[in-house]
Amino acid sequence: MGWMIDTHTIPKIRTWDEAKRVFEATVPWKDTHDSERALGLRREKHKIIIRDGTDYKLRLYQTDVVIYHQDGDVTINAYSSVSTTKFIDQVAPVHFSQSLLGGTFITVSDSSRVAMYRPNKRGGIRFTVGKDKRWVPLNPGDIHTEERLVPNLSEMGKVRKQLKTYFTWSDVMDRLQPGKDLGSGYTTEGKEEVLKALLENPEDPSLFGDVRKHVVSGYYNGYKEHKKHVRAVAYKAAGCYTKTPITPYEVGASIRSLNHEF
């Protein structure tokens, strides 16, 4: 696991009032401007809270990651790092987090829905609370729509039946010479094409060796893992998964009240 910051010394901040209270309770450094104060241990000057007019900026290194505005709005500025993710978890409203899967996104979630927003190149995304008590992105940047692979269990069952003869043969091969036929000269290219051919003619023994060569070679880790891998490739080759978009909702996550009482 890579290096990341320690957030145990950072107070949890969820609202503008809490940010104001933390700032006013912290003694400023002697050698810096009064508007900058420690966010946690005094020696950690890479984690600070800044008062800028009526805004409170929670800064990690050189980035104002979370900004609390007096009107109740909050600005979240994502940055692609595990440390930023932990920082946001500690000092942003409870429904906000950062996702690094497939890019860097600001994530707003409640118990049933997840919206992911890619921040604009300059500045973060400012959220306000709408009439329906949900966070509304004022400058949403690029809304990211996730896709989920939904399995067709009936088709998977058919694929498993079609693979039975191959697995019986492969089991005998493993008992006679475990993995010995999986030489270094084999290739794993065209795995799905090999499985498609087998599924079309599941009783054809001339195809069994191709599966061992092109699907299992380079992956072999015992018979059980071998079966899991072949099945996974076969499911994909047979089209047993349907890509279903998870469309993010437009206004963010529910909160308990307009005054942010969590």
Per-residue pLDDT reduced to its tens digit, 9-50: 899 999 999 999 999 999 988 877 889 999 988 888 889 999
> Do 55 and 158 reside in the same domain of the chain?
no
Residues 109, 226 within the same domain: no
The domain total for the chain is 2
Residue 167 sits in the same domain as residue 100 = no
Question: Does residue 145 contact residue 245 with C-beta atoms inside 8 Å?
Answer: yes
User: Does residue 258 lie within any of the structural domains?
Assistant: no
Provide the token pair at 76: 């979240």
pLDDT of residue 190: 75
Q: Which residues of 59-92 are buried (b: 16+ CB within 10 A; e: fewer)?
A: bbeebbbbbbbeeebbbbbbbebebbbbbbebbb
Q: Is residue 6 situated within a structural domain? A: no
Q: Which of 120, 145, 170 is the last residue of a domain?
A: 145
Residue 235 has pLDDT above 50, yes or no: yes
- Domain of residue 210 covers 151-242
Residue 251 located in a structural domain: no
Spatial separation of the C-alpha atoms in residues 129 and 119, rounded to whole Å: 18
Find the helix packing angle between 153-162 and 191-200, rounded to 10°: 80
Output the CA angle 107-108-111, nearest 5 degrees.
120
Lowest mean per-residue pLDDT among 9-23, 35-49, 114-128, 230-244: 114-128
Domain boundary (88, 122, 145) is at 145
pTM of model > 0.95? no
Please indicate, yes or no, whether residues 24 and 134 belong to a single structural domain of this protein: yes
In this prediction, residue 122 carries a pLDDT of 63
158 confidence band (pLDDT: 50, 70, 90): very high
Mean predicted confidence (pLDDT) in 187-197: 78
Token pair listed for 77: 């500025």
Weakest mean pLDDT among 19-23, 32-36, 52-56, 185-189: 185-189
Phi-psi region of 194 (alpha: psi -120 to 50; beta: other; left: phi over 0): alpha
**Residues 90, 13: Cα–Cα separation, whole Å:** 7
- What percent of the chain shows pLDDT beyond 70? 74
Residues 51 and 118 in one domain: yes
* Most confident segment among 14-18, 206-210, 223-227, 250-254: 14-18
Q: List the single range of 18-22, 104-108, 180-184 with lowest mean pLDDT.
A: 180-184
**Residues 56, 20 contacting (CB under 8 angstroms):** yes
Whether the Cβ atoms of residue 200 and residue 179 lie closer than 8 Å to each other: no
So what's the pLDDT on residue 116? 76
Instruction: Report if residue 255 sits inside a domain.
Output: no
Task: Report which listed range, 4-18, 175-189, 220-234, is most confident.
Answer: 4-18
